Structure 1
Amino acid sequence: MDICIFKGLKHIEDAHKVRTLVFIKEQKVSKEVEMDGLDKDSYHVIVYENNLPIATGRLLKKDNIYSIGRVAVIKDYRHKNYGKIVMDELIKKAKDLGVKEVFIHSQLHAKKFYEKLGFKPFGKVYKEANIKHISMKKKIK
């Protein structure tokens, strides 16, 4: 296993491969919604297994708020700790940047996963890209 952490577009095609498989093909999110133009301003994590990108996520600062998003693991690699690895690396990057709190728009089915990582839900369930979501936040120590 290899982990790549970068800012901007350096290895973005590998992150896009994972996100296309998970969000566009599997979950039927439109390409226009998924490829939102914010990657150039984000920190990214990509996990590789046998040189194949299998998991990704990003950390984005917008209006002085840091959000984790686009967390995806290819289907055959789920429930094998790769999502946690991505999240741990993104949270570590946020901590290195001096961030005190991060937010995530969690798909409702992933809520328990994020709760195990210390995220707390707030607000009401809403739909984003026709998928139910809940906002969550985590204090970084």
Structure 2
Amino acid sequence: MKVLKVDTEAQLQEAFNIRKTVFVEEQKVPYELEIDEFENHSDHFILYSEGSPIGAGRFRLLDGKGKIERICVLSDYRGTGAGKFIMIAIENYAKEIGIATLKLNAQTYAIPFYEKLGYSVVSDEFMDAGIPHKTMEKNIKM
């Protein structure tokens, strides 16, 4: 598996297609909420397995922190460590650009996944696109 920071329109469309499959088709998130006004102000990442796109994620700066968003993996590849590959790549990118704290809004069922990666819950539960979430943070300062 290999994670790339998106640098072509074709890669961006592959990332969007994965997000559409996972969030819009599987989780029934409205398309207009999934592909939003922050796309052009974010860094996008895509995970490939044997040349095929299988996962995606997004990173942007928000209030001096790195915000990780839209982490997703196609259903056939879940449980293989694919999500961890994406997270590590985004964390390494954040370190490279000097970000000390990362935050994300985790769907509550995914909290154990993020806790294994060192994230801690810092909020009460809230609804986003009809799905329960909690905000999580991690300090990555070297």
- Out of 5-14 and 71-80, give the one that drifted further: 5-14
- AA of the residue aligned to 1:61: L
- Is contact 1:8-1:39 (8 Å) kept? no
For residue 2 of structure 1, report the CA deviation from its aligned partner.
Answer: 3.2
Q: How many aligned residue pairs are there?
A: 141
Q: 2:73, 2:10 → 1: CA distance?
A: 20
Could you say which residue in structure 1 is the equivalent of 2:13? Answer: 13
Matches within 5 A, 1:100-139: 100-139=100-139
For residue 12 of structure 1, report the CA deviation from its aligned partner.
Answer: 1.0
Q: TM-score, normalised by structure 2?
A: 0.93
Cα deviations by residue, 1:61-94 (Å, 9 ceiling, x for unpaired): 1343320000000001000000000000000000
The structure in which a higher percent of residues are strand is: 1
Could you say which residue in structure 1 is the equivalent of 2:97? Answer: 97
Q: 1:31, 1:52 → 2: CA distance?
A: 23
Task: Structure 1: state its 5+ residue gaps.
Answer: none
- Out of 54-63 and 85-94, give the one that drifted further: 54-63
Could you say which residue in structure 2 is the equivalent of 1:66? Answer: 66
Cα deviations by residue, 1:91-123 (Å, 9 ceiling, x for unpaired): 000010100101000000000000000000012
Q: TM-score, normalised by structure 1?
A: 0.94
- Is contact 2:58-2:69 (8 Å) kept? yes
Task: Structure 2: state its 5+ residue gaps.
Answer: none
Instruction: Report the secondary structure of 2:85's partner residue.
Output: helix
Q: CA RMSD in A?
A: 1.5
